Amino acid sequence: MSLNDLFFDRARKRPARVAYPEGHDPRIVEAAVKARQMGIAIPVLVGNPAEVTAIASRSGWNLDGITVLSPKDDGLLDRFADDYARTRNLRTAIARKVVQKPLSFAGMIVKTGMADAMVGGVDTATASMIQAASLTIGLQPGITTPSSCFVMIVPDFQGEKEKALIFADCGLNIQPTAAQLADIALASASSARSLLGVEPRVAMLSFSTKGSGSHADVDKVLEALSIVRAKAPFLIVDGELQGDAALSPRVGEKKAKGSPVAGQANVLIFPDLNSGNICYKLTQYLAKATALGPLLQGFARPANDMSRGATVDDLIGVTAITSIQAQGA
């Protein structure tokens, strides 16, 4: 069974209630219908119920088992506005204007427990998605920086078929500080546990291994490592490590003898977006790897952003992953 098939199988065991803020988009409606039929999620669509019904009717899609909530529902708006105003110390009238926007409305559906997670972004900029999730769902305790990761599935890696690795951050934080890099590492370790079902071995990557190079960029990685160890003393993490030292047992033994991560890393933390984004794309094309993501991480409940060019199949795949994330949240 492929890893993709395993994701669908795991999602079916405990499908999450997934809110979709863009119920006006036919791709979202189709994906929600298929996700429900496949048993990987219990969809909650945000939109005008009449419009959603019309979209489904034109294509012959059955909305049974799918909840449609309107951002113009006064009862829900009052409830969400009161909650948001109290959390953000705002006047209720201002809070109401915020939460009636579809992204924030979906975020409040998750925040108040009416759904377990959200998937959006097919008609919205990533920055808006992240802002809405940050202000409504909020971040995990101890995390102050949202980040993203990719699940990279390499077809043949050192004799292992379909080797799965977490790459982060490859899509969001451009020049993270040491504290932000530590947040990325902690969130990525959680992603490895929930998505891959493995004990994370986190490599803090650099152009240097254990003092082989000297530079402020190396110092930043070492400072981030120190923060991670202070926050999560039982996490298996090490650095600074070059890519070969992190992944190759032979090189790891030579360059970082005694490291609990060298040669065994399954979570790779890149020092900046340049290196992370370049590396995941090179891995995707040179090693013919499958890249699942970017997946958002660090939120108190799962919230995933989709490309505006996302297909229905893309949405279904991310919905399955989101259900799995919600199981461990």
| pLDDT tens digits, one per residue of 147-172 | 999 999 999 898 888 899 999 999 89
- What does the pLDDT read at residue 24? 94
Q: What is the CATH number of domain 3-138+299-328?
A: 3.40.50.10950
* Mean pLDDT calculated for residue range 11-31: 95
pLDDT score of 15 more than 60: yes
- What does the pLDDT read at residue 54? 96
pLDDT score of 202 more than 70: yes
Domain 147-292 CATH (choose: 3.20.20.60, 3.40.50.150, 3.40.50.10750, 3.40.5.10): 3.40.50.10750
| pLDDT tens digits, one per residue of 81-133 | 999 999 999 999 999 999 999 999 999 999 999 999 999 988 988 899 999 99
* Mean pLDDT calculated for residue range 189-204: 94
- What does the pLDDT read at residue 308? 83
Per-residue pLDDT band for 329 (boundaries 50, 70, 90) equals low
* Mean pLDDT calculated for residue range 186-203: 94
- Per-domain boundaries in the chain: 3-138+299-328, 147-292
- What does the pLDDT read at residue 145? 93
DSSP state of 140: P
pLDDT score of 52 more than 80: yes
Q: Within 13 Å and on the Cβ side, how many CA atoms surround 46?
A: 28
pLDDT score of 191 more than 90: yes
DSSP state of 118: E
Q: Which residue has the higher pLDDT, 2 or 244?
A: 244
- What does the pLDDT read at residue 1? 59
Helix, strand, coil shares, percent, the chain, to 5: 50, 20, 35
Amino acid at 3: L
pTM recorded for the entire structure: 0.88
Q: How far apart are CA 154 and CA 164, in angstroms?
A: 6
CB burial of residue 272 (10 Å; 0-12, 13-18, 19+): middle
Q: Which helix (H) or strand (E) holds 184?
A: helix 178-191
Contact between 34 and 41 (Cβ < 8 Å):
no
Per-residue pLDDT band for 184 (boundaries 50, 70, 90) equals very high
Backbone dihedral region for residue 75 (phi beyond 0: left; psi -120 to 50: alpha; all else: beta): alpha
Same fold, 3-138+299-328 and 147-292: yes
Q: How far apart are CA 199 and CA 210, in angstroms?
A: 23
User: What mean pLDDT value characterizes the chain?
Assistant: 93
Rounded to whole angstroms, what are the CA distances from 60 to 40, 63, 81, 132, 291? 21, 10, 36, 32, 32
Q: Which helix (H) or strand (E) holds 204?
A: strand 201-205
Q: Position of tokens 């995390």?
A: 143
